[in-house]
Amino acid sequence: MYEALELVPEAPLVCMPADDGEMLFAKDDWCEHALEIRSGIARAVSYSRGGDRQVMAFFFPGDIIGLPLFDAHRYSAEAVSGLRFARHPAERYRMGKEHYDQSAQKVAGAVWQEEKAFIARGLILGRVGALSRVAAFLGYLAEHLADEDRTMPFAIPQADIASYLATSPETVCRTLRGLRDRGLIAMTSRDRLKILDPAQLARLAAEGRTCRDVETTRFNSQAMRPKQAGRR
């Protein structure tokens, strides 16, 4: 009865639509519902005093966001485009409550799934150079919403991509054009993107331009080198 992350049938989980740009929940708000994304894309946003805004993560169909690791939401979430979602009572996912509908393992898995989105951005931003960041981002997108034909809906405003990648919209546009000209990707329509050469794209993401010290000091330095063998 409790297998999978299946929704419990007792509550009639309607699939609600959200307008583009609509806020789904706000940081520090009480965590009432967890949201399961049915279609479209959502974004996690950080507003700092000072007025600057950062897109911290994107979420895709199948993701469950707003899980009550705490009582309060850890970030603000907004709809990007074409979002439809279902609400789950947060109590179901609250840890340590005795009335588990889900096993704690499942809850932990869902939390980890949510956190991975934030960590992924860190790894992407860790790469220097717009080219490798964009390439890594496309690879990340493909993992989440590419079909068997390596085609995916690409309904994310370039301003959001720019904020996510910590670069300017112009650079995003130029880089995408560069990838298109080199035949690595194709954009048939405004909102459809096809990855033509995943291997080359991954290579760009990896070697695009890595900090020099990584190669050099890694094998010379002592403080750098892990002394315990056997990592991967």
Six-digit token string for 34? 């967890």
Cα torsion 42, 175, 168, 164: sign? positive
Q: Which stretch binds its own copies (CB under 8 A): 31-39, 178-186, 190-198, 205-213?
A: 205-213
Closest CA to 101 of 218, 1, 230, 28: 1
What letter represents residue 212's amino acid?
Answer: R
Q: Binding marks (x or -) toward DNA, 97..136, rule CB under 7 A?
A: -------------------------------xxxx-----
* 198 lines the binding site for DNA (CB under 7 A): no
* 27 lines the binding site for its own copies (CB under 8 A): yes
Q: Binding marks (x or -) toward DNA, 199..218, rule CB under 7 A?
A: ----------xxxx----x-
Q: Are strands 151-153 and 64-65 parallel, antiparallel or unpaired?
A: unpaired
* 170 lines the binding site for DNA (CB under 7 A): yes
Give the relative orientation of helices 130-145 and 158-165 as an angle to the nearest 10 degrees. 120
Matching residue, tokens 């009480």: 30
Q: Binding marks (x or -) toward its own copies, 207..226, rule CB under 8 A?
A: x--xxxxxx-xx--xxxxxx
Distances (CA, A) of 191 to 149, 194, 230: 16, 10, 44
Residue selected from 48, 105, 222, 228 as contacting DNA according to rule CB under 7 A: 222
* 7 lines the binding site for its own copies (CB under 8 A): no
CB distance 207 to 136 below 8 Å: no
**Residue 174 interface partner, choices DNA, its own copies, none, CB cut-off 5-8 Å depending on type:** DNA
Site for DNA, residues 138 to 167, rule: CB under 7 A: 157-159, 166-167
Closest contact distance (angstroms) between CB of 201 and DNA is 16
Q: Based on CB atoms, which residue is closest to its own copies, 102 or 141?
A: 102
Give the relative orientation of helices 198-207 and 130-145 as an angle to the nearest 10 degrees. 140
* 53 lines the binding site for DNA (CB under 7 A): no
Cα torsion 91, 94, 96, 102: sign? positive
* 89 lines the binding site for its own copies (CB under 8 A): no
DSSP at 177 = H
Contact residues for DNA, defined by CB under 7 A: 128-131, 157-159, 166-171, 173-174, 176-177, 187, 190, 209-212, 217, 220-224
